[in-house]
Amino acid sequence: MTVTETPAVLPLTRRTWFVRLLQALVIVSFVGGWELLGRAGVLDPFFYSRPSLFVLRIAEWFSEGIAERSIWNDMRVTLMETILGFTIGTLLGVGIGYAFARNRLLGQAFDPLFSMFNAIPRLVLAPVFILAFGIDLASKVALGVTLVFFIVFFATFTAVRDVDQTLVDNVRILGARRRDVTFQVLLPAAFSAILASLRTSAGFAFAGAVVAEYIGSNVGLGRRIARAAAAPRASPRRRPRAAPRSRPPRPRSRLRSPRGRP
């Protein structure tokens, strides 16, 4: 490559390069250190594996096709649950948050109740959701909705309630109807706060889907994690070299659930 080439984007400044370099350094030293410690026998490969091994294992997953049991299908299902939970939770959150901010009676009556519900750790209630909504998609979406809803609800409620009253008074005198006040003033004014809450809640929709799958599901990334945790095999099918003698492998009975026995 020659220096005469004109870059398609603005050239990165020296400082940006330095920042990138630091970032790369952190990642390389973490992954490289892990690999080296694993090869040197400091980290027990049974519990910690090595980056070079589990990358191959993951590659194996991705090459198993797109059948029902494949990682592709797991990703598809989890993504769908995430999107549904996020969308439904956001719509409910914005709608009800707006109504509560506009109607003082509603706000006063239900705000404490909502705060109470919000204080319940919903992830722990995942088994209840599975009992109520079944083992399929609905329970995962429902858990995601309860997580997303409260974040978006409180953000919308606060943002709409705190809109500068002068703006509202002014447009009312200028002839705005109720609908104009909503769409020309309140929602645009609350927009950035709502948007910020969406960034947080998208992550929660995903967490809700995965946790609910982990607790009870036939498919999805959470299911895959649960299975992997029950039968650890962080390396590809080819058996890795035997673990160092210094730390013998744990007896299998510790890893198997005792429930299967009579």
Judged by the rule CB under 8 A, the positions of this chain that interact with other proteins are: 164, 166-167, 169-177, 180, 184-185, 188
Radius of gyration of the chain (CA): 26
Phi and psi torsions of 255, nearest 5°: -95, -25
User: First vs last Cα of the chain: how many Å apart?
Assistant: 70
Could you tell me the smallest distance in angstroms from the CB atom of residue 106 to other proteins? 16
Could you tell me the smallest distance in angstroms from the CB atom of residue 162 to other proteins? 15
- Cα–Cα separations (whole angstroms), residue 150 to 7, 8, 82, 142, 145: 46, 43, 16, 13, 9
Could you tell me the smallest distance in angstroms from the CB atom of residue 91 to other proteins? 23
Could you tell me the smallest distance in angstroms from the CB atom of residue 107 to other proteins? 12
CB of 125 or CB of 181, closer to other proteins: 181
CB of 175 or CB of 248, closer to other proteins: 175
Nearest to 225 by CA among 239, 209, 243: 209
CB of 158 or CB of 184, closer to other proteins: 184
Could you tell me the smallest distance in angstroms from the CB atom of residue 189 to other proteins? 8
Local structure of residue 219 (DSSP, 8 states):
S
Could you tell me the smallest distance in angstroms from the CB atom of residue 114 to other proteins? 20
Q: How far is residue 198's CA from residue 248's CA, in Å, rounded to a whole number? A: 48
Quick one: CA dihedral 55, 61, 62, 64, positive or negative? Answer: positive
CB of 104 or CB of 256, closer to other proteins: 104
CB of 165 or CB of 253, closer to other proteins: 165
CB under 8 A, 24+ apart: contacts of 29-33: none
CB of 178 or CB of 259, closer to other proteins: 178
